[in-house]
Structure 1
Amino acid sequence: MAKLFVEQAKQYAKTRPSYPQELFEFIASKTPSRDLVWDVGTGSGQAACSLAGIYKNVIGTDTSLEQLEFAPKLPNVRYQQTSPVISMGELEQTVSTQSSVDLVTVAQAMHWFDLPAFYQQVKWVLKKPHGVIAAWCYTVPEVNDSVDSVFNPFYTVDSDPYWEPQRKLVDDKFMTIDFPFEPVEGTDNTGPFKFVAEKMMDLDDYFTYIRSWSAYQTAKAKGVELLRDDVIESFKRAWIKDGQNQKAVKFPVHVKIGKVGNV
C-alpha cells in the first residue's frame, strides 16, 4: 500500500485537506483521558497535528518514510516508520505497552489494512473499557455544479479502472467496513458520522490534488494520462465560469467511532 503514495508524497502533503476541528472535538469528547494517541497510517501528519493540540502525546506511524518526511515536527508528536505488517513485539516497542493508549485514529487509511490483525492490535493497546478508536475517510470533493459536473464522470468512469478494490470502502463512506467495537457514550451506533473539511484551492491546486491519487499514479505507470488535454480544458471552462480562481473545495468526512469495552 505504501508504494502507492511514494511518487506523489509532496503533492499529497500539499493538497490533501486538513480535517475540521469539530471532528477532533467530537472524538476527544468521547475519551475520558487525553494522554496518548496512536495515529496509524499518519502519512504526512495531517491528523497528528490537530490531535497534538488536544492530547499530551501523539505517536504517528506509517510504512512510508517518504510521507513521514513531509510531516510537521511538533514537540509532542513522535513519528515512526513501521513494517507493513507490525508484530505485537514491534507494536510494544515502537508504539506503547498493553492497555496504555487512550485513542487510536486512522485518517483515510483503514481501507488498506488487514483489518482482523489490526483490530487485534487496537484491542491490545487501548485502555479498557473506554479506549476509543476513530477511523475516517473523506469522499470526493465538492466545488460547484459546473466543476462537479466535469469531475463526477471523470472520477466514476475515467479513473475507475485504476483504483484499487479497497477504494470501494471509501466510496461507501465506511458504511460497509467491518468495525467490531461498542458505541461510545452518547451514541447508539458506531456511525459513520458526517463532518465537512474545506480547503481553498485554485485550479492548479485542484489538478495537483488529482495527481496525488493512487489511481492517477497507477494509470501513469500503465502509460495512461488521466488529465488529457481535452479533460483539462473541460475543467478549465467549468472552473472559470464564475470568474473566481480561488474556490472553497469541500470534502465530506465520514467517521466510524467506537470503544474497546472489556475485551
Structure 2
Amino acid sequence: MAKLFIKQAQQYSVGRPSYPDNLFNFIASKTPCHDLVWDVGTGTGQAAQSLAKLYKDVIATDASPKQLEFAAKVPNVQYKCTSPNMSMSEIETKIGSESSVDLITIAQAMHWFDLPTFYQQAKWLLKKPNGVIAAWCYTTPEVSDSVDAILEKFYTIDTGPYWESPRKLVDEKYKTIDFPFEAVDGCDHNGPFEFKIEKVTDLESYFTYLKSWSAYQTAKEKGAELLTDDVVDKFTSAWNEDGKSEKTVTYPIYLRIGKVGNLY
C-alpha cells in the first residue's frame, strides 16, 4: 500500500483535505482517558495534527518514509516509519505495551490493511474495556452538479481500471468493512456515522487533489494520460460557469467507531 503514495507524497500533503473538528471532538468524547493515541497509516499527518490538540501524546506511523517527510512537525506527535506488516515485537517496541493505548485512529487507510492481523494487534494494544478504535474514509468531493458529473465519469471510467480492489470499501462508505468492535457509550451501533468537511479550493488545487489519487499515479506509470486537454477543458468549463474562481468543495466522511470491550 505504501508504494502507491510514495511518488505523489507532496501532492498528497497539499491536495488532501483536513478533517473537521467535530469529527475529532466526537471521537474524543468516547475515550475516557486522553493520554495516548496511535494514528496508523498517518500519511502526511493530517489526522495526527488534530489529535495532538486533544490527547497528551500521539504516535503516528506509516510505512512510507516519503510520506512522513511532508508531515507537519508537532511537539507531542512522534512520527515513526514501520514495516508494511508489523510484527507484535515491532508493535511493542514502537507503539506500546499491552492495554496501553486509549485510541487507535485510521484515516482513509484501513481498506488497505490485513484486517485480521491488524485487529489482533489493536485489541492487544487498546486499554480494556473502553479503548476506542476509530476508522474513517471520505468519498469523492462535491462541488456542483456540472463539476460532479464530470468527476463521476473521471472516477468510474477513466481512473476505474487503475484503482486497487480495496478501494471498493471506500465506495461502499465503509458499510461493508469488517469491524468487530462494540458500540461506544452513547451509541447503539458502530457506524458508519457521517461527517463533512468543506474546503475553499481553486481549480489548480482541485487538480492537485485528483493527481494525488493512487489510481492516477498507477495510470501514469503505465503510460496513460488521464487529465488530457479534453478532460481538463471539460472540468475548466464546468468550474468557471458561475464566474467564480474558488469553490467550496465538500468531502463526505464516513466513520466507524467502536470499543474493544470484552472482545479480547
Report the TM-score, using the length of structure 1 for normalisation.
0.99
Which piece of structure 1 moves more, 242-251 or 104-113? 242-251
Shift of 1:100: 0.4
Q: Where in structure 2 are the equivalents of 1:24-173 lying within 5 Å?
A: 24-173=24-173
RMSD: 0.5
Q: Which runs of 4+ in 1 moved over 2 A?
A: none
Q: Write the distance in 2 (CA, Å) between the matches of 1:197 and 1:110.
A: 19
Q: Write the distance in 2 (CA, Å) between the matches of 1:151 and 1:140.
A: 8
Q: Write the distance in 1 (CA, Å) between the matches of 2:254 and 2:159.
A: 22
Q: Write the distance in 2 (CA, Å) between the matches of 1:19 and 1:74.
A: 17
Q: Which runs of 5+ in 2 are unaligned?
A: none
Q: Write the distance in 1 (CA, Å) between the matches of 2:147 and 2:22.
A: 27
The one-letter code sitting in structure 1 at the alignment partner of 2:178 is D
Q: Which residue of 2 aligns with 1:256?
A: 256
Shift of 1:150: 1.1
Shift of 1:156: 1.2
Shift of 1:37: 0.2
Q: Which residue of 2 aligns with 1:235?
A: 235
Report the TM-score, using the length of structure 2 for normalisation.
0.99
Q: Which residue of 1 aligns with 2:206?
A: 206
Q: Write the distance in 1 (CA, Å) between the matches of 2:46 and 2:177.
A: 23
Q: Where in structure 2 are the equivalents of 1:174-185 lying within 5 Å?
A: 174-185=174-185
Q: Write the distance in 2 (CA, Å) between the matches of 1:242 and 1:95.
A: 50
Q: Secondary structure at the match of 1:206?
A: helix
Q: Write the distance in 1 (CA, Å) between the matches of 2:44 and 2:198.
A: 18
Q: Write the distance in 2 (CA, Å) between the matches of 1:198 and 1:86.
A: 34
Q: Write the distance in 2 (CA, Å) between the matches of 1:209 and 1:111.
A: 20
Shift of 1:153: 1.1
Report how many aligned residue pairs link the two structures: 263
Q: Write the distance in 2 (CA, Å) between the matches of 1:221 and 1:76.
A: 37
Q: Secondary structure at the match of 1:59?
A: strand
Identity %: 65
Q: Secondary structure at the match of 1:127?
A: coil
Deviations 1:103-128 (A, max 9, x none): 00000000000000000000000000
The one-letter code sitting in structure 2 at the alignment partner of 1:69 is E
